[in-house]
Amino acid sequence: MEIIPAIDLIDGRCVRLTQGDYNDKKVYEQDSLDMAKSYADCGVRRLHVVDLDGAKAKAPCNLAVLEKLASHTNLDIEWGGGIKTSESIKDVLNAGANRAICGSVAVDNRDLFKEWLQMYGTDHVILGADIRDGMVATHGWLKNSGVAIEELIEDFLPAGLSQVICTDISKDGMLQGPNFELYVALQNKYNGVNFTLSGGISCMDDVAKAKELGLHSVIIGKAIYEGRITLNNIKEWLQNE
């Protein structure tokens, strides 16, 4: 079970949204680099970073932050938000991200996403599928695509898709526990794909349950910011893994 802490950025600052609502955000004073270093000190290997400005602007907006995180830590950074063109994915990977999370473009331009899977390799390209009412939401969670996650996965499997981050928007930022049923069903149906649970992790018991259910990785955001999960909790968990 891999724990992946999350940092969401607006104007270069750490924020958390509730259910993906840009109007319902909380700004935290922690510096993103300080946070990243503290995670690395705990033994965390991977960091999940979302450029919320980029998601809205349809192009990466916080690449300077990415360069700083990549140059001052050894973390495996997965970066999402605004990756919609071949230039933007190249910019993100060149700025230091090891993995690019692609959401809207995978719905709107499937051929391009398949091209990226083959060009950069499936270790470096992640399908980001954010779910609302059973359908994938795109463009910073502002648009309902009307496309089910299963349709996307089955379209991309022949191109080698191996990594999916799935976020249940209804659970995101609510600290009420994840939709375990969704992730277990997906993992069982597509056992060759590594699904990362995102949205709703509220305490270490949720992490333990995810492991017990056979899931491979979880993203934790607001629970850390709000002190529900401490750095010591993460350190102890990783030492025992």
Contacts (Cβ under 8 Å, ≥6 apart) of 183: 166, 195, 197, 210, 213, 215
Asked if 8 is an active-site residue, the reply is: yes
220-232 pLDDT, tens digit per residue, is 999 998 999 999 9
Contacts (Cβ under 8 Å, ≥6 apart) of 40: 73, 74, 75
Asked if 130 is an active-site residue, the reply is: yes
Determine the average pLDDT of the residues in 180-194: 96
Catalytic residue among 51, 53, 130, 206: 130
54-70 pLDDT, tens digit per residue, is 988 999 999 999 999 99
What are the residue ranges spanned by the domains of the chain? 2-240
Is residue 171 pLDDT above 90, yes or no?
Answer: no
Six token digits for residue 117: 């899977």
Is residue 176 pLDDT above 90, yes or no?
Answer: no
Question: What are φ and ψ of residue 24, in 5° steps?
Answer: -120, 70
Name the CATH architecture for the domain at 2-240: Alpha-Beta Barrel (3.20)
Q: What is the DSSP string of 155-201?
A: HHGGGT--EEEEEETTTTTT-S---HHHHHHHHHH-TTSEEEEES--
Is residue 197 pLDDT above 90, yes or no?
Answer: yes
Cα dihedral sign, 174-177-183-185: negative
| Angstrom distance (rounded) from CA 215 to CA 180 | 9
What is the distance in angstroms between the CA of the first residue and the CA of the last residue of the chain? 8
pLDDT of residue 134: 82
> 83 near 124, Cβ under 8 Å?
no
Catalytic residue among 8, 168, 172, 206: 8
pLDDT of residue 85: 98
With residue 86 as reference, give the H or E element that holds it: helix 86-94
Is residue 108 pLDDT above 70, yes or no?
Answer: yes
In the chain, the amino acid numbered 188 is: N
